[in-house]
């Protein structure tokens, strides 16, 4: 699983959720640099959101795999009322929520997110029949897999990657992979941008 390249809202520090901002030119360059570290894959799948799909298309062209399989259940977590807002705007409108880990009412909970993402990964893995699939998705999607496996929350950088083994009815967490050199964060919120 690979998080998409930098989007316009990542660059502005805005929570995206299921909003659909495009990649920045920097995000496209990140994807091209990441492709240099990728090996061979049997298939490539992506969230339908343009920041993930464009990243996936760049990677697919670079490694010679395609077409990109799109699965709607790989889309990012719904950020509800916080979509499009910066951390400062959230703190202003919902004082103390971020510091206390509180979320707005329409923010997608972990359990339904985990259910849809697990289903998508098992479907995509099944299509590859035991092969390796590169899945381009979102930080919240990778984060819910970490959380489910007892991992402490950590920010997933753009083009951050995580091996996940899909078995018949469950997922197993593998190693984390750095595809590009760490960059100073422009995602001011390290939770779920």
Question: Which residues belong to the active site?
Answer: 4, 76
Rounded Cα–Cα distance for residues 97 and 92 (Å): 10
165 beta partners: 172
**How does DSSP assign 46-101, residue by residue?**
E-SSHHHHHHHHHHHHHHT--PPEE-GGGSPPP-GGGTT-BHHHHHHHSTTHHHHT
Torsion from C-alpha of 77, 159, 88, 82, nearest 10 degrees: -10
* Residue from 157, 152, 191, 192 nearest 177 by CA: 157
Residues 24 and 165 sit within 8 Å (Cβ to Cβ): no
Residues 34 and 2 sit within 8 Å (Cβ to Cβ): yes
Residue 20's Cβ-count burial label (10 Å; 0-12, 13-18, 19+) is: middle
Q: Would you call 122 helix, strand, or coil by DSSP?
A: helix
State the residue for tokens 């799109």. 70
């Amino acid at each position: 699983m690979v998080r998409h390249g930098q989007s316009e809202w990542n660059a502005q520090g805005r929570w995206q959720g299921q909003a659909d901002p495009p990649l920045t030119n920097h995000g496209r360059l990140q994807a091209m640099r990441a492709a240099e570290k990728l090996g061979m894959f049997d298939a490539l799948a992506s969230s339908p959101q343009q920041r993930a799909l464009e990243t996936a298309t760049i990677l697919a062209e670079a490694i010679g795999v395609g077409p990109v399989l799109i699965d709607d259940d790989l889309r990012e977590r719904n950020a509800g009322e916080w979509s499009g807002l910066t951390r400062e705007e959230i703190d202003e409108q919902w004082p103390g929520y971020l510091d206390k880990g509180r979320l707005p009412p329409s923010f997608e909970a972990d359990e339904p997110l985990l259910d849809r993402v697990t289903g998508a990964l098992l479907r995509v893995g099944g299509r590859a029949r035991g092969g390796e699939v590169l899945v381009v998705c979102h930080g919240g999607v990778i984060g819910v897999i970490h959380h489910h496996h007892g991992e402490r929350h950590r920010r997933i950088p753009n083009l951050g990657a995580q091996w996940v083994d899909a078995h018949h009815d469950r997922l197993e967490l593998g190693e984390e992979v750095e595809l590009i050199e760490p960059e100073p964060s422009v995602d001011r919120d390290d939770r779920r941008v």
